């Protein structure tokens, strides 16, 4: 099947590459010429396990193409997937300008019957508007319908998640659209769940927000565990055996980040308000997460007289391991606070350093300085305090005795509960984690 994909971010590029791997003829479209040339050379613009290899394989095979020429890409496509960004606006609503731009390009270009599929996360009812918008700007007498096909990939495992998801959600309003979209996914392993468009849009938000609720609930319980002398890891273990709860998303820490949970919780909260309703549970998740991100900084502030002139080791910059994405990463909030307090930061992240450097270049930043280390051990050398923000393997493998040996003062604030409390204590490390 001839497929075009608008947008080459996490959603669009992963989808396009995986469609090509399943035998479709795929053209990925982006406005950034440098990005297109980079992908043609076999280099992925995002860090994602297994993606680059599949890009190179399918580009060489001739069934994966990259272009900035949207007219050529859309003109004869049987199915066009929209995977452009829908960034959060200041009021929490989704910015749909990129969706609108691509929709108009499609309307003014297509010359044959076509199914347009929105993979981007959009507010409920957006697909209806997209279909009307396309019809308003059509320049040829063709049949066009819009379908919803939200993605459920997790960054770091996006390729695996695409091929082995729990389900594929398709939202359509006709048998023709459903049949065509099922053909796209006929060689994929996961079961297809077919619903109407608005239900598909809601499934995406409801799923992500439920997981965000679960994380915030566990962080709330973890904070209470500290006060009453319980251990959150023991509590989570006991809860995990209940099949009604399960064992995923029970890890306490410094909050969720990334491109989905923060944006989607705020968007659903905004949508409810637009209809005169308050989603109190989602509001609570947002509030808990906001406070959780800087909980360790506040603990350290109570312990220290000042951060001025202190060397602070920051281990982990991305919002989680397996990705170079910094969106809503706890490191951003905490590094800003530390620099404003005059700290000198020695940061380490095996993948996210380059993206973080764009925000905080080497040298003076605010009232402090930033230096990027090549290893966790280098970052720890001579540090007065260490903050752990990401659960990278390279950070997990730092031994308790290394903190004691390398740091000026072995004072560690672990936002991912990576280390054994008793081993850290035995090594002479003053160690603080979440809920333990």
Q: Catalytic residue numbers?
A: 260
Instruction: Give the full edge-to-edge strand order of the sheet including 144-148.
Output: 64-67, 25-29, 2-6, 79-82, 114-118, 144-148, 168-171, 192-195
Nearest to 197 by CA among 225, 159, 176, 171: 171
User: What whole-number distance in Å separates Cα of residue 193 and Cα of residue 177?
Assistant: 14
Q: Are 347 and 379 in contact (CB under 8 A)?
A: yes
User: What whole-number distance in Å separates Cα of residue 88 and Cα of residue 82?
Assistant: 18
User: What whole-number distance in Å separates Cα of residue 236 and Cα of residue 17?
Assistant: 37
CB within 8 A of 17, min separation 6: which ones? 26, 28, 51, 54, 55, 58, 64, 159
DSSP per residue, 208-253? HHHHHHHHHHHHHHHHHHHHHT--HHHHHHHHHT-TTT-STT---S
User: What whole-number distance in Å separates Cα of residue 227 and Cα of residue 229?
Assistant: 6
Q: Are 407 and 386 in contact (CB under 8 A)?
A: yes
Q: Give the distance, in angstroms, between the CA of residue 199 and the centroid of all CA atoms in the same chain.
A: 23
| φ, ψ at 50 (rounded to 5°) | 75, -10
Query: Which is it for the CA torsion 296, 268, 151, 97, positive or negative?
Result: negative
Quickly count: other Cβ atoms within 10 Å of residue 428's Cβ.
13
Q: Is 298 exposed, middle or buried (0-12, 13-18, 19+ CB in 10 A)?
A: exposed
Classified as helix, coil or strand, 259 is: coil
């Amino acid at each position: 099947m001839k497929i075009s994909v608008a947008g080459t971010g996490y959603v669009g590029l992963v989808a396009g590459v995986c469609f090509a791997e399943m035998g479709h003829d795929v053209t990925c479209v982006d406005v950034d010429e440098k990005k297109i040339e980079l992908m043609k050379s076999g280099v992925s613009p995002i860090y994602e396990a297994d993606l680059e290899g599949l890009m190179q394989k399918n580009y060489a095979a001739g069934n994966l193409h990259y272009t900035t020429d949207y007219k050529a890409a859309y003109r004869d496509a049987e199915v066009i997937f929209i995977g452009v960004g829908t960034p959060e606006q200041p009021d929490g609503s989704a910015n749909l300008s990129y969706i609108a731009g691509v929709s108009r390009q499609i309307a003014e270009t297509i010359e044959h019957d076509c199914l347009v599929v929105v993979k981007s996360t959009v507010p409920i009812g957006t697909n209806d508007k997209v279909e009307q918008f396309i019809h308003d700007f059509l320049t040829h007498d063709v049949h066009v319908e819009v379908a919803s096909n939200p993605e459920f990939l997790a960054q770091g495992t996006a390729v695996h998640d695409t091929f082995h998801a729990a389900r594929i959600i398709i939202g359509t309003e006709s048998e023709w659209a459903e049949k065509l979209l099922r053909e796209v996914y006929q060689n994929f392993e996961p079961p297809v769940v077919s619903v109407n468009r608005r239900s598909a849009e809601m499934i995406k938000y409801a799923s992500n927000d439920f997981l965000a609720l679960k994380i915030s609930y566990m962080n709330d319980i973890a904070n209470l565990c500290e006060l009453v002398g319980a251990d959150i890891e023991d509590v989570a273990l006991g809860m995990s055996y209940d099949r009604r709860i399960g064992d995923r998303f029970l890890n306490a820490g410094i909050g969720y980040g990334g491109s989905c949970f923060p944006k989607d919780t705020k968007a659903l909260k905004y949508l409810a308000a637009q209809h005169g309703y308050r989603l109190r549970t989602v509001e609570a998740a947002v509030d808990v997460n906001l406070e959780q991100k800087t909980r360790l900084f506040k603990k350290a502030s109570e312990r220290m007289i000042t951060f001025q002139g202190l060397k602070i080791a920051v281990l982990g910059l991305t919002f989680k391991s397996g990705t170079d994405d910094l969106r809503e990463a706890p490191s951003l909030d905490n590094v800003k606070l530390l620099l404003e307090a005059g700290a000198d930061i020695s940061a380490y992240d095996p993948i996210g350093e380059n993206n973080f450097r764009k925000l905080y270049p080497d040298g003076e930043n605010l009232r402090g300085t930033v230096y990027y280390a090549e290893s966790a051990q280098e970052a720890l050398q001579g540090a007065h305090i260490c903050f752990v923000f990401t659960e990278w393997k390279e950070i997990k493998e730092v031994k308790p005795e290394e903190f004691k040996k390398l740091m000026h003062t072995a004072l560690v604030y672990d936002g991912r509960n990576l280390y054994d409390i008793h081993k850290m204590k035995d090594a002479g490390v003053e160690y603080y984690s979440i809920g333990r």
